[in-house]
Copies of this chain bind each other. A is one copy, B any other.
Amino acid sequence: MSPSASSPAAAQPVGTNGQEPTKTYREMDASTMTTSLVPEAEQLPVPGLQDPGRLTQKLTTAHMVQAPWVAGEGWGPPHMGPYGKIALEPTASVLHYATESFEGMKVYRGYDGKVRLFRPWLNCERMNKSNARVCLPAIDSDQLLAVISKFLAIECRRWLPEPGSHLYLRPATIGSGSALGIQRPPEALFFLFAALFPQSSHEPSPGMRLLASDSDVIRAWPGGFGGSKVGANYGPAMVAQAKARENSCGQTLWLFGEDRQVTEAGASNFFVVWKRKDSDVLELVTASLDTEVILDGITRRSVLDLARQRLTKDSADLPEGFQPVQVVERTFNMDEIVEAQKEGRLIEAFVSGTAMFVMPISEILYDGINVTLPRTVGEDGTKLPVAKYSYTIKTWLSDIMFGKVEHEWAYVIDEN
């Protein structure tokens, strides 16, 4: 802050770390949320959810929520107002030191007309874990969900009218206070907006190619922060991501260690279905969470939960003609995938995440080798990656999200 300006930050004593008197500290409180809404006539019409070409990740709905936090005082009342720019001091912590965390969620208009979130409790818990990892303040998970719900109760009527469609939600926390010293930000800002993402397709997918990362580029490390949804995991990954695109691949497949362990794909978790080397048992394998190198994805967790419940021998849900799978979370590496492919044991591979949802993998480029996944022929004669298991799981998840079935993972927003 310039000496000629003034801001609340100036009144803060230097070095307020940890000096947070519990008496006056305020938790986030959704009941104190205020609103100043854009008049209905000034909000543009919904820009055609039927017109996916017009939708980019840059388009948002008309409003956003902001809530300020000050060290020693806590959270101020959340405010829902017009979507607009955020003004920050050039000395703000977030612009220099990556004191930033976020969540990615989708909100769904069900075929029954109801608006639903998918396991939002997990996002709210994870945001707190992420915030803690970069010295940002905690947010009471229930209050965070209540703030999100209030925003959606207003916003979805106009911006999510179409059954079977969704919006993308982005809650974020940033270190907004002036702090050129490397220290806990003295102020923070929570904000939340909704973006008009392109809609997921329910058609069989042509699949995505992955470019395995080079051995000299590592996304995350044990003892680092790969398990937290903090900005620091993403900017430094963009060079590899750009290289993937240059190679006509959709994402980087991040490997780790000299034995080239498979960790995750871009901003998604990675799964493979294969036949065990020593028996005819099928396995659904993904990297374990042990070392905090990979993100504890909510779609990942849901894929594993559903597979454990429904893809077993005795499950009534096991589709006809499906062999049951054993779910395995463990360290595995590229050599195992290459070997399984050579021996004809590789069945399918896919990635999961909120943005990507569930997407089959068609090919992995790995140190000059093209590891091609098994293919099938689509209705129009084109070759498609085999996605029997992933498509089944995707459909189960989609049915919960859009309310085709009642499920405890769905959280209905009260729009009245």
* Interface residues of A, Cβ cutoff 8 Å to B: 1-5, 9-10, 14, 17-18, 38, 42-44, 47, 56-62, 64, 82-91, 93-100, 102, 132-135, 168, 170, 172, 174-175, 178-184, 191, 193, 195, 215-218, 221-225, 230-239, 241-242, 245-246, 266-267
18 contacts between A and B (CB under 8 A): A2-B61, A2-B62, A3-B47, A4-B62, A18-B246, A64-B90, A93-B235, A94-B95, A95-B100, A97-B234, A97-B238, A100-B235, A133-B236, A135-B238, A135-B242, A182-B241, A218-B223, A231-B231
**A238 & B57 in contact (Cβ 8 Å cutoff):** no
**B9 & A58 in contact (Cβ 8 Å cutoff):** yes
* Chain B contacts for A181, CB-based, 8 A: 57
User: A223 CA to B215 CA in the complex, in Å?
Assistant: 8
**B242 & A60 in contact (Cβ 8 Å cutoff):** no
Q: Of residues A102, A180, A193, A246, which shows the largest number of chain B Cβ atoms within 10 Å of its Cβ?
A: A180
A82: nearest residue on chain B (CB-CB)?
B2
* Additional 13 contacts, C-beta under 8 A, given A91-B195, A224-B236: A2-B84, A3-B60, A5-B83, A9-B58, A86-B95, A97-B231, A98-B100, A99-B238, A134-B236, A175-B235, A182-B234, A183-B241, A217-B223
A133: nearest residue on chain B (CB-CB)?
B236
User: A201 CA to B2 CA in the complex, in Å?
Assistant: 25
A46: nearest residue on chain B (CB-CB)?
B3
* Chain B contacts for A184, CB-based, 8 A: 238, 242
A254 to chain B, nearest CB (A): 11
* Chain B contacts for A9, CB-based, 8 A: 58
A176: nearest residue on chain B (CB-CB)?
B95
A236: nearest residue on chain B (CB-CB)?
B225
**A235 & B98 in contact (Cβ 8 Å cutoff):** yes
User: A369 CA to B44 CA in the complex, in Å?
Assistant: 65
Contact status of A235 and B135, CB under 8 A, knowing A179-B57, A183-B242, A218-B222? yes
* Chain B contacts for A217, CB-based, 8 A: 223
User: A296 CA to B131 CA in the complex, in Å?
Assistant: 29
**A3 & B235 in contact (Cβ 8 Å cutoff):** no
**A174 & B58 in contact (Cβ 8 Å cutoff):** no
**A4 & B38 in contact (Cβ 8 Å cutoff):** yes
**A231 & B87 in contact (Cβ 8 Å cutoff):** no
**B135 & A90 in contact (Cβ 8 Å cutoff):** no
**B246 & A133 in contact (Cβ 8 Å cutoff):** no
A399 to chain B, nearest CB (A): 27
**A85 & B91 in contact (Cβ 8 Å cutoff):** no
A222: nearest residue on chain B (CB-CB)?
B218
* Chain B contacts for A60, CB-based, 8 A: 1-3, 90-91
User: A181 CA to B168 CA in the complex, in Å?
Assistant: 12
Contact status of A170 and B180, CB under 8 A, knowing A59-B1, A59-B3, A83-B5? yes
A300 to chain B, nearest CB (A): 17
User: A217 CA to B82 CA in the complex, in Å?
Assistant: 41
User: A174 CA to B233 CA in the complex, in Å?
Assistant: 16
Picked from B18, B222, B225, B231, the residue with its CB within 8 Å of the CB of A96 is B231
Q: Of residues A14, A96, A102, A215, which shows the largest number of chain B Cβ atoms within 10 Å of its Cβ?
A: A96
* Chain B contacts for A230, CB-based, 8 A: 98, 235-236
